[in-house]
Amino acid sequence: MNNKTPLPEVDPESAGFSKERLARLKPAMRKYIDLQLLPHIVTLVAREGKIVHFAAQGYQDCESKIPATRDTIFRLYSNSKAITGAAAMILYEEGRLTLDDPVSRYIPAFKDPLVAAAYGETGRGWPPVMFPTVPAQREITLRDCLRNTTGLATPERSPYWYAVRYKDIIPETGWDLTANLDNPPTQSYRHRVENHARLPLNFQPGTDFVYHVGYPVIGAVIEIITGQTLEEFYRERIFQPLGMKDTSFYLAEHNRDRFADCYRPKQKNGRWGIAPYDKAAASEKARGPAVNFGAGGDMGGVLSTAGDYARFCQMLLNGGELDGVRILGRKSVEIMTASHTGDIFLPMRGRGFGFGMGVGVYVGGAPRPVMRSVGTYGWDGAAGTLFFADPKEKLLGICFTQVIGALAMPGNDYQEEFERLVYQALV
């Protein structure tokens, strides 16, 4: 890595891009800032491991007018999942886990799970059972955790009687194992996932998709196997070897002036805009205590810059290696970035998409044509971070901002437009 950029920068024409067409990207992204739908945006495009576009626009602190830069630090939220997938694959290569290990091998509370049953499914006849459950057909596996098919209970999918039957357990679980930045969890992840294991599952493991709830579990398993915190293991095995010097779960003191504020949508006088949500100086990510290591992005997840994250993504595109440092074997990356969900429908993406070990994967067959190639993988985060990696085109796109629920605002289509403008510039 050179001293100025995370990957070598080249003229777009030399990497198969039209310079004129690629130039459309920056003003198109600026439009969302001018409309006050985004505070800032950092975009990076690379092909064959070389950067052809890298731009920062807007303010990382709109009130103080501190400009966003290419070195601005962001909360990755669910973009942390890809890093967790890579960490799990490192342990898989070393024989310290297998993807189909039952979680109970590492956390005994997950042994012999029950599943909430619909009326008539218990086989107990009349009268109906007040709190009906049936034994799970199999236990939850590590693969289930990574591909989001655990069946672990969530408020949206649980019958009403959970609130009565498990009123003493639910507060100890965080319910869906997420926490508000204004209200950090008081219990450890290990405590929370062990209590979550006491709730009946919403469906049989491996048969449906429920997002995120398996990631605190796989995070706890990684810490149990390694004897390290996620921060320690990720830093030792991924961040430091790849030269991701600005990436960690918590902010280093010397990086505080580069940490972006996070915003939320707000409607005023019938018009959508943004308002502060998590100010950088007061954020739990800056002041600590450094105890919430969210494998799936809880509490903001991993912090990183667009450049640092590009090095991680380029490592995957290269088949597990970057600048002579190998993090994973080529075949392990193929497993990680393949779909493991089969015909299971992903409501967040729709038909044509599957989920791998921390990344969504385009498998083809979407109801309408898309520009990305079959096999393209990537994901996004709750505060507006996004990446996609297209192995066929050897193409990487990264688009970072910080607005919780940005896409809920009408007309805020920056992610779709970013991808379209990247692909239309290929020649």
Find out whether 171 and 185 touch, Cβ atoms under 8 Å. no
pLDDT one-digit tens code per residue, 300-342: 999 999 999 999 999 999 999 999 999 999 999 999 999 999 9
How far apart, in whole angstroms, are the C-alpha atoms of residue 423 and residue 427?
9
Query: What pLDDT was estimated at residue 123?
Result: 53
**Is the pTM above the cut of 0.85?**
yes
Give residue 144's identity as a one-letter amino acid code: D
Find out whether 65 and 59 touch, Cβ atoms under 8 Å. yes
HEC sequence for 85-149: HHHHHHHHHCCCCCCCCEHHHCCHHHCCCEEECCCCCCCCCCCCCCCCEEECCCCCEHHHHHHCC
How far apart, in whole angstroms, are the C-alpha atoms of residue 32 and residue 48?
29
Coil, strand or helix at 424: helix
Joined together, the tokens standing for residue 38 give 């985004």
Query: What pLDDT was estimated at residue 4?
Result: 72
The ranges of the chain with pLDDT < 50 are: 1-3, 120, 126
Which of 323, 305, 427 lies closest to 52 in space, CA to CA? 427
Query: What pLDDT was estimated at residue 186?
Result: 80
Query: What pLDDT was estimated at residue 343?
Result: 95
pLDDT one-digit tens code per residue, 192-206: 999 999 999 999 999
